[in-house]
């Protein structure tokens, strides 16, 4: 098992420039979208993270040919040779569920393992299945597998009970090849959903209302290929912005989309950091005094749940008490116990974490439980005096491209140890 070892310093100030990679949560549905056509789909700005490799292994099993290069990925699914997404792959990555809609729409059948448990919450997929049933799919669940079948999907008017990123993505993809008009209401408005929809439009789909709560999709008989760039990863960017504020440093982020980070930037400014925004660039200058504040996670454009753990670390250095309310996932405080090991002062009560600051943390051995929790432990390790060793770092590789290399170039003393 690999570990990450960090020599933390209370007076560390990160400095320099960091290039933001392409978005993990945008590229995964874009890869699944290539199932909707037999023509070639070319994706640019693809992050070389573990989840991309897992998704490509799954796609290969379904019949896809692909070429992954440093500067891009080309995919071609001339025919879907197998309709099955196995438990082994789905267990490794829940986003595998995103092949359900496009496979069903393209070939009339999809057999996908039901994703099991997850560290951050129950994460059911009932809204995906209800929506596909409303498009006329016959869905059965047996031996842990969902079987979805439909000779021809039919357009329908569907309202999501709650906002779901993956549910919106699966339904939009399926509706593109359904007969007639589909109206989707209470859609997720995340930039990753919009990036997927703009790819689908380039492939020939007819979609109105990109980025809005209601989208209208006119089904078409078939879709073609496209050339498309993946948006920058706003969560990776947010993680580095917090690193800049946390270490009272001075960082320039390049190849980033500031308009996707408005709420995060607002909160950083409230905490006292100076944030300057230019085209595809953000400069953050940390302040000596970090101010406490309350944060509530919510669907986009609200404060992203994927930034909650990282912000919690910043609030451990803030003067005063901060309350973080997690409204999206019911078990997304597992990083708290590990931060307590580093000397933070945090209490959890239901969906709220109460952070008392400022605290001086000291290095210790900790264990990551999920992707964003591992990012928060690395951030904490930067400013916890002495050595911090983060175990189970495979979580971090799922969504961050070479995070320790990027941090080292900014002045952090961080290395990866093989187990």
Stretch that binds ligand EPZ, among 56-64, 124-132, 274-282, 350-358 (CB under 6 A): 124-132
28 binding ligand EPZ? (CB under 6 A)? yes
3-state secondary structure 358-396: CCCCECCEEECCCHHHHHHHHHHHHHCEEEEEEECCHHH
305 binding ligand EPZ? (CB under 6 A)? yes
**Smallest distance, Å, CB 415 to ligand EPZ?**
24
**Going residue by residue from 192 to 221, which x/- string records binding to ligand EPZ, judged by CB under 6 A?**
x-----------------------------
329 binding ligand EPZ? (CB under 6 A)? yes
Closer residue to ligand EPZ, CB minimum distance, 162 or 278: 162
- Per CB under 6 A, contacts with ligand EPZ among 272-301 are none
Closer residue to ligand EPZ, CB minimum distance, 127 or 324: 127
328 binding ligand EPZ? (CB under 6 A)? yes
124 binding ligand EPZ? (CB under 6 A)? yes
Report how far residue 192's alpha carbon sits from residue 132's, in angstroms, rounded to the nearest whole number: 21
164 binding ligand EPZ? (CB under 6 A)? yes
How much is the CA Rg of the chain, to the nearest whole Å?
Answer: 21
Q: Beta strands 65-69 and 40-44: pairing type?
A: unpaired
Binds ligand EPZ (CB under 6 A): choice among 155, 399, 406, 412: 399
Find, among 14, 51, 20, the residue nearest to 261 by Cα: 20
**Smallest distance, Å, CB 224 to ligand EPZ?**
25
3-state secondary structure 239-276: HHHHHHHHCCCEEEEECCCHHHHHHHHHHHHHCCCEEE
121 binding ligand EPZ? (CB under 6 A)? yes
Find, among 3, 61, 54, the residue nearest to 24 by Cα: 54
Stretch that binds ligand EPZ, among 63-71, 126-134, 278-286, 389-397 (CB under 6 A): 126-134
165 binding ligand EPZ? (CB under 6 A)? yes
Beta-ladder partners of 388: 6
Size of the site for ligand EPZ (CB under 6 A): 25
Binds ligand EPZ (CB under 6 A): choice among 9, 19, 91, 123: 123
Binds ligand EPZ (CB under 6 A): choice among 78, 162, 185, 278: 162
Binds ligand EPZ (CB under 6 A): choice among 25, 37, 198, 263: 25
Q: Which of 118, 176, 187, 197 is labelled catalytic?
A: 118
**Smallest distance, Å, CB 299 to ligand EPZ?**
7
3-state DSSP assignment of residue 72:
strand
Instruction: Dig out the tokens for 229 from the structure.
Output: 């760039």
47 binding ligand EPZ? (CB under 6 A)? no
148 binding ligand EPZ? (CB under 6 A)? no
52 binding ligand EPZ? (CB under 6 A)? no
Report how far residue 48's alpha carbon sits from residue 230's, in angstroms, rounded to the nearest whole number: 12
Known catalytic residue at 187: no
115 binding ligand EPZ? (CB under 6 A)? no
Burial of 126 (0-12, 13-18, 19+ CB in 10 A): exposed
246 binding ligand EPZ? (CB under 6 A)? no
406 binding ligand EPZ? (CB under 6 A)? no
**Smallest distance, Å, CB 2 to ligand EPZ?**
19
Stretch that binds ligand EPZ, among 35-43, 120-128, 150-158, 356-364 (CB under 6 A): 120-128
Q: Which residue pairs from 16-19 have beta carbons closer than 8 angstroms and sit at least 24 positions apart in sequence?
A: 16/251, 16/252, 16/409, 16/410, 16/411, 17/251, 17/252, 17/253, 17/254, 18/240, 18/251, 18/252, 18/253, 18/254, 18/406, 18/409, 18/410, 19/253, 19/254, 19/255, 19/406
Residue of this chain nearest to ligand EPZ (CB atom): 166
φ, ψ of residue 147 in degrees (nearest 5): -115, 120
363 binding ligand EPZ? (CB under 6 A)? no
Instruction: Dig out the tokens for 242 from the structure.
Output: 């917090």
Beta-ladder partners of 29: none
| Pair 16, 252: CB distance under 8 Å | yes
Report how far residue 215's alpha carbon sits from residue 200's, in angstroms, rounded to the nearest whole number: 13
DSSP run (H or E) holding 295: strand 295-296
Which parts of this chain interact with ligand EPZ (CB under 6 A)?
25, 28, 95, 121-128, 162, 164-167, 188, 192, 305-306, 328-329, 371-372, 399
The residues assigned a catalytic role are 118
């Amino acid at each position: 098992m690999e570990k990450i070892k960090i020599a933390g310093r209370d007076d560390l100030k990160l400095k320099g420039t960091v290039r933001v990679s392409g978005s993990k949560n945008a590229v995964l549905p874009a890869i699944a979208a290539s199932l909707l056509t037999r023509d070639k789909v070319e994706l640019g700005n693809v992050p070389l993270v573990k989840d991309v490799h897992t998704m490509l292994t799954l796609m290969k099993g379904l019949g896809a040919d692909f070429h992954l290069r440093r500067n891009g990925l080309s995919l071609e699914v001339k025919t879907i040779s197998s309709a099955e997404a196995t438990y082994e792959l789905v267990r490794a990555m829940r986003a595998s569920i995103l092949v359900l809609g496009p496979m069903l729409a393209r070939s009339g059948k999809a057999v996908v393992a039901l994703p099991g448990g997850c560290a951050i919450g129950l994460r059911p997929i009932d809204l995906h299945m209800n929506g596909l049933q409303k498009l006329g799919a016959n869905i059965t669940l047996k031996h842990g597998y969902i079987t979805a079948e439909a000779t021809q999907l039919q357009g329908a008017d569907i309202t999501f009970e709650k906002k779901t990123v993956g549910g919106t993505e699966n339904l939009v993809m399926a509706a593109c090849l359904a007969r007639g008009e589909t109206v989707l209401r209470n859609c997720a408005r995340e930039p990753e959903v919009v990036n997927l929809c703009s790819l689908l439009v380039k492939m020939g789909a007819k979609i109105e209302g990109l980025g809005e709560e209601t989208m209208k999709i006119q089904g078409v008989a078939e879709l073609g290929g496209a050339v498309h760039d993946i948006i920058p990863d706003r969560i990776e960017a947010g993680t580095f912005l917090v690193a800049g504020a946390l270490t009272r440093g001075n960082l320039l982020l390049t190849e980033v989309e500031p308009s996707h980070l408005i709420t995060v930037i607002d909160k950083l400014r409230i905490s006292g950091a100076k944030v300057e925004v230019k085209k595809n660039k953000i400069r953050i200058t940390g302040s000596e005094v970090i101010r406490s504040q309350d944060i509530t996670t919510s669907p986009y454009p609200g404060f992203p749940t994927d930034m909650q753990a990282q912000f919690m670390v910043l609030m451990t250095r803030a003067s005063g008490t901060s309350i973080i309310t997690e409204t999206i996932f019911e078990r997304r405080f597992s990083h708290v116990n590990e931060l307590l090991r580093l000397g933070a002062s945090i209490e959890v009560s239901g969906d709220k974490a109460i952070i008392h600051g400022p605290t001086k943390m000291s290095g210790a051995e900790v264990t990551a439980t999920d992707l964003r929790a591992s990012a928060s432990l690395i951030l904490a390790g930067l400013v916890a005096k002495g050595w911090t060793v983060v175990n189970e770092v495979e979580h971090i590789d799922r969504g961050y491209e070479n995070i320790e290399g990027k941090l080292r170039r900014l002045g952090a003393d961080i290395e990866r140890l093989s187990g």
